[in-house]
Amino acid sequence: MKSAVKVIIPASGSGVRFGGKTAKQFILLNGKEILAHSIKKFQDEKIIDEIIVSSAGENFEKIKNIVRKNKFSKVKKIAEGGKRRQDSVYNALINLECGMNDIILIHDAVRPFVTGKLIKEVVSSLQGADCVIPAVSISDTIVRTDKNNFVKEVIDREGVYAVQTPQAFRYDVLMQCFSKANRDGYTGTDEASIVRRYGHKVKVTEGDRRNIKITVKKDLEEAGKYRRK
């Protein structure tokens, strides 16, 4: 039986770091909400069977409108978000009807430049693995500072990567690890860190340098440049 591929897009962020009254996932980029751009990339891929968005209840109507006007037929549900990203992902996960061998992709709502090629790559790379994450090598010098912002350590770049999304997981592994994390009161930096904590290996595949996460206003300016190229 063919495994289904389902996507969770946590979109509960308030956009505090971005500034302004509008959460960054709802800010317009070339006339469409950033979230709409992100959803469309998965809507357009044949290998994707279902999409679920998790968000604060106050934003449900906004998301329903985005889904309706863009005809995002693969968005079947909107799940209640939580205080932590981890809670938002888990709430979406338990609202999905999945077989044990299904594949779950988790993608940041504010990474609108993910490509179909990368989506297919993380899915195909999951064969023989429990979790796959896309990542790009670090070319800049990396330093660690003290509390006064003086450099105390220069970090070797060898083997250092910046992690992106979508991250891919086997459903059974992800559900088991999230259940354990909730039981233990553990908060991971991302979903892959939770899976790794409970003994599963995380495989890295090559990411895309244009697959940026829009976190601050400068990122939005960079995004505008990408759209013009």
What's residue 186's pLDDT? 97
* Cβ atoms 190, 174 nearer than 8 A: no
Is residue 137 helix, strand or coil? strand
Residue with tokens 């979790």: 131
Q: Comparing C-alpha atoms, which of 111, 138, 134, 112 is closest to residue 121?
A: 134
* Residue partners of 24: CB distance under 8 A and separation at least 6: 13, 15, 18, 34, 110, 214, 215, 220
Domains and CATH numbers, the chain: 5-228 (3.90.550.10)
Q: What is the DSSP letter of 156?
A: P
Question: What's the rounded Cα separation, in Å, for the pair 164 and 110?
Answer: 11
pLDDT at site 140: 87
Q: How far apart are CA 13 and CA 80, in angstroms?
A: 12
Per residue in 98-118, pLDDT tens?
998 999 999 999 999 999 999
Angle, vertex CA 168, rays to CA 176 and CA 35, nearest 5: 110
Instruction: Please return the burial class of 11, using the count of CB atoms within 10 Å of its CB with bins 0-12, 13-18 and 19+.
Output: buried
Which residue type occupies 136? V
pTM of the complete model: 0.91
Q: Are 36 and 64 in contact (CB under 8 A)?
A: no
Residue 225 reports pLDDT greater than 70: no
Q: Closest by alpha carbon to 170, among 3, 1, 17?
A: 3
Q: Is the pLDDT of residue 228 over 50?
A: no
